[in-house]
Amino acid sequence: MPQRLHLVFGGELIDPAKNAFRNVDDIDIIGMFPDYASAYDAWKAAAQKTVDNAHMRYYIAHIHRLRDEEIEVSATEELG
């Protein structure tokens, strides 16, 4: 069974209606998780801690979707 890695991260947004961070250096990296369920639990805990700040957002990135070992490599990846 392949791993399905998920990254949980967040930070303060410039505008709550957009997905642009106010300061990329201040992004809060919660961690990498082996499945969606554990990533969701971590996301929920982090989001609940900042519920009073409308500019704070946390996300789950599906890292496993960035690279699928079953798909042939792209031309740019072959460049090294």
pTM reported for the whole predicted model: 0.77
Q: Which of 22-26, 28-32, 70-74 has the lowest mean pLDDT?
A: 70-74
Q: How many domains does the chain have?
A: 1
The answer to whether position 46 is within a domain reads: no
Contact 44, 37 (CB under 8 A): no
CA–CA gap between residue 6 and residue 60 (Å, rounded): 6
The answer to whether position 12 is within a domain reads: yes
**Alpha helices (H) along 1-80:** 36-49, 75-78
By C-alpha distance, which of 79, 36, 42 is closest to 58?
Answer: 42
Per the structure, the complete domain to which residue 25 belongs is given by: 1-29+51-61
pLDDT for residue 72 is more than 90 = no
| CA 77 to centroid of chain Cα atoms | 22
Question: How are beta strands 56-62 and 6-12 bridged, if at all?
Answer: antiparallel
